[in-house]
Structure 1
Amino acid sequence: MDLKVYLKCIRWKNLLLIGYVFILIKFVLFPSYQIHTILSNFQFFVLLASVVFITAAGYIINDIFDITTDFINKPKKVIIPNLVSVEKAKTWYKVTNALGVTLGVFLCLKIEKPNYSFIFLGSSLLLYFYSKKLKGLPFIGNVVVAFLVCSSIFIIVIFELNYPVENPAQFIVLQFIVLLSFVAFLINLIRELTKDLIDVNGDYKMKMNTLPILIGISRTKKIALFICLIIILFLLYFVINYSSEYKYLNLYLVVFILLPLLYTSIKLNKSTTKKQFQKISIWLKIIMFLGVNSILIFSKF
């Protein structure tokens, strides 16, 4: 019973997506461009475990701080304290977070890059302060979460590639991952704004100062739509300018990213109810997953 609740608390499906991205980059993308990587397979899985544990701890501490708000916004889905006590959840957080940070620091020492330890320590602290303080600030909390999501993709590049980049193939792959991280950042930023629209009633009662409360639902939607437009224009620029080099990738981007994002934007513009915003959030998660799969198309397979 405890394991089932723990897995629910740490959002295991989201953690699987992180693992999926890491494995695609390490075992599909890098080999397809014959890129020599620094980490052994064991060290790679230590890195992955560290990122997963720190992210999982972030979900737990967020649920602990959001107990009152969650009872208002989603009373039927409250995990803490309905399924597990606050004290036990705090223990889960401490152990999970400690495992993540310890594994990260161990890896940094093992590869003789102790300065990289601050990545894991900083991520852990940022997740804690986001849940405690930053979440209630307009836009800042949204940016922090979106940044942490995209950094979880980019962190593998920091640890796996040699610098300075001189190999042309390595430079191409690095560019692709930077672009993927940038799009992931923007999509998650839209999703975080959408979640604020979903939770506006509970956040208002808790006197939180999220963007929909500060400037209103309509203006928040316009900001989210503007970010959607940035992604669409950015992808269109890529498709038009690299039509000959990446034919299959461009076709994939148009069919599975651009068109779904355009559809989601139209639906977001028309959305007014909590249920409608929840559907938008699901669509954005699907688009994110489809975006990750572009790694397969970009790879030489």
Structure 2
Amino acid sequence: MIRFVEFIRMIRFMNCCMTGLAVVFTIFVAEKYMINNYFSVIVGFLTGFLVSSASMLINDVVDLEVDKVNKPWKPLPRGVFKPQSVRSTSIAFLIVGAMINVSVSPIAFLTAFIYSIVAYVYSFLRRSWYSQFLVSLAVTGPFIYGLTLAKTEKAIFIILFSIVVFLINTSREFVKSIADINGDLKYNYKTIATVYGVKSSAKASLLLSIIGSTIAIVIGLAKLAGLIYTVILGVCGVLYTLLALIVVLNPVKAQAMKNVMIYVMLIALIGFLLSEI
């Protein structure tokens, strides 16, 4: 039971659920809550969950030495699991996550496959500063992939929302780079924080938060989404920007703010689901 709980922690269960739900929510929004094919919904959630799990697991394997410095409390640094078994599990999750889309459509499989590779290879490119942008590109995957599972006239809205997701997630990645700077410097990992400094990373995070939040609100004001979406995204945008501002004022709080940001993103995801109301 303890090992199961540790495994759930290692895959970042909440993040994986958010990825799966992002696909499901995209289908619901795209089809205006009139779902005709629940099989696609199930496949969509499983794809998002499994691919996200795979990327989290391989990230922990690749980052094992860094995590011994940055996050010694994680399961792998504590020796709860063997790296090889975690690596094998991640590969299995990745393959299953992509292959179950063969039964849906060629375009769904191709999209799932491409985004799966992007999410997976990020961990092997951590010594390149642009790897942080690959994470955000992968995070847009559930929305673009979700479009391939639905018949919709909402493509423009969903694509614009994906841009918001890219910007907001990159903002969080910059905050994360501040929290992880000690281990990243020790092992020569290139991030915005290690290359340009903590202050620059914090300011860039704040700027991206402002831009992303503004676009999210403009989407609602332009009537591409309903009032509930506009209100929720407006509130989330303000909260998220305040969190980014706290990091600018006090970078030591980066780890705590990064953790809170994920909850704000979850609320914003609910706002996305309610965009047709």
Q: Same fold (TM over 0.5)?
A: yes
Q: CA deviation at 1:212?
A: 1.3
8 Å CA contact 1:47, 1:103 repeated in 2: no
CA distance in 2 between counterparts of 1:156 and 1:99 reads 17
Q: Residue 293 of structure 1: CA displacement? A: 1.2
| Separation (CA, whole Å) in 2 of partners of 1:241 and 1:94 | 43
Deviates more, 1:59-68 or 1:224-233: 224-233
The equivalences for 1:40-51 within 5 A come to 40-51=37-48
**TM-score, normalised by the number of residues in structure 2:** 0.88
Q: Residue 278 of structure 1: which of 255, 262, 274 is its match?
A: 255
Counterpart of 1:226, as a letter, is L
Question: Where does structure 1 lack aligned partners over 5 or more consecutive residues?
Answer: 162-169
Q: Secondary structure at the match of 2:31?
A: helix
Deviation at residue 95 of structure 1 after TM alignment:
2.0
Relative to structure 1, the CA distance from residue 80 to residue 118 in structure 2 (aligned partners, 3 Å threshold; closer, same or farther) is farther
Residue aligning to 2:179: 198
Q: CA deviation at 1:286?
A: 2.0
Q: Which amino acid aligns with 1:203?
A: D
Amino acid at match of 1:283: V
Partner of 1:136: 127
Does residue 1:233 correspond to 2:223, yes or no?
no
Residues in 2 aligned to 1:65 and 1:98: alpha-carbon distance in whole angstroms: 19
Cα 1:263–1:48 shift into 2, 3 Å: same
Task: Flag the 1:78–1:204 CA change in 2: closer, same or farther, 3 A.
Answer: farther
Report sequence identity in percent.
Answer: 20
Report the counterpart of residue 164 of structure 2 in structure 1. Answer: 183
Cα–Cα, structure 1 residues 296 and 48, in superposed 2: closer, same or farther, change >3 Å? closer
Aligned residue number for residue 11 of structure 1? 12
Structure 1 vs Structure 2 CA RMSD: 2.5
Q: 1:251 to 1:3 in 2, by over 3 A?
A: closer
Name the counterpart of 1:249: 229
Aligned to 1:165: none
- The change in CA–CA distance for 1:127 and 1:174 in structure 2 (over 3 A counts) is closer
Query: Greater relative contact order: 1 or 2 (C-alpha under 8 angstroms, separation 6 or more)?
Result: 1
- Does residue 151 (structure 1) correspond to residue 141 (structure 2)? The answer is yes
Determine the structure 2 residue equivalent to 1:290: 267
Summarize the Cα distance change of 1:201–1:84 in structure 2 as closer, same or farther, 3 Å threshold. Answer: same
Which has the larger Rg? 1
Q: Unaligned regions of 5+ residues in structure 2, if any?
A: none
